[in-house]
Amino acid sequence: MYEVDQVRDPGGDPLFRLVFLFHDDLAVLEQTLPACVHALTDGTRQTFEVVVHGDATPVSAARELLSRQAEWGVDEVRFRTRQRFVASGDRSNNGHRRLFGGRSRYLIVVEDDVLVERVEQSFDPLTALRELFEGLHEVVAVCAMTDHGDWAWHLEDVGPPLADGVRSVNRVATHLIAYDRARFLPVAARFGAFNLDVFVDRHDLSYNWEDLVSHVGTTGGRRIAWPEGWPLRTYHCDRKVAQGSMHNTQDTRVKQAVLDHLVRPAR
């Protein structure tokens, strides 16, 4: 499934695979997906494809999503149940661990309640990501969220900046993350990323996909790049259930209110 030995030669596949991890909230996705695809790919010099991975998506939502595929410019839609071979821990682990098929060199994963905006229209995010990975061979993942201030596990620097406007940090957020597959997959597999029972999500102990990615990216001389200086804004369209909590509401009404605030004409 992971084709680690072939990952450096994309062959007929595009250089980038942009995957949206989706469950069932089409009202949110119909706003976030087109906006994210436009912000990340409009005018790019790189080859890419757009995939939607539905994890435990109800049949009614799956049918509606398929009817919107062409309108949204989605190249591939796939669905998986949670009936068998389900990852432990947080339910999102089940989706994230299944997104590494194909031969594209770089994988960008966007969760369905994330909004990306490009501040400078001449900026090419995919080219910037490619140049960052090619220039910094210790970087296995790239992540940047504008609204990280309310995280329970706080963002911190690990050593000096990697480049102008690019921090070396202690963690990722899987709301939006880019991987160099050749660098990430072998180490992640060794750390148990694709075992079904490696994760745990309890009130007293938590080890989920973003913890594992952060583990991969901060050990063995590897790095996580945080390009805070790039002209992109990335927002998770949800709120914490309480101050200091690790958990978000997962409430459609809350997500819609956050989106409405973000996309209003003047802010």
Q: What is the pLDDT of residue 97?
A: 95
The 3-state secondary structure of the chain reads CCCHHHCCCCCCCCCEEEEEEECCCHHHHHHHHHHHHHHHHCCCCCCEEEEEEEECCCHHHHHHHHHHHHHHCCCEEEEECCCCCCCCCCCHHHHHCCCCCCCCCEEEEEECCEEEEECCCCCCHHHHHHHHHHHCCCEEEECCCCCCCCCCCCCCECCCCCECCEEEECCCCCCEEEEEHHHHHHHHHHCCCCCCCCCEECCCCEECHHHHHHHHHCCCCCEEEECCCCCEEEEECCCECCCCCCCECCCHHHHHHHHHHHHCCCC
**Each residue's pLDDT tens digit, 152-179:** 899 999 999 999 999 999 999 999 999 9
**Each residue's pLDDT tens digit, 63-116:** 999 999 999 999 999 999 999 999 999 999 999 999 999 899 999 999 999 999
Per the prediction, the chain carries an average pLDDT of 91
* Average confidence (pLDDT) over 118-134: 97
Which superfamily does 14-262 belong to?
Spore Coat Polysaccharide Biosynthesis Protein SpsA; Chain A (3.90.550.10)
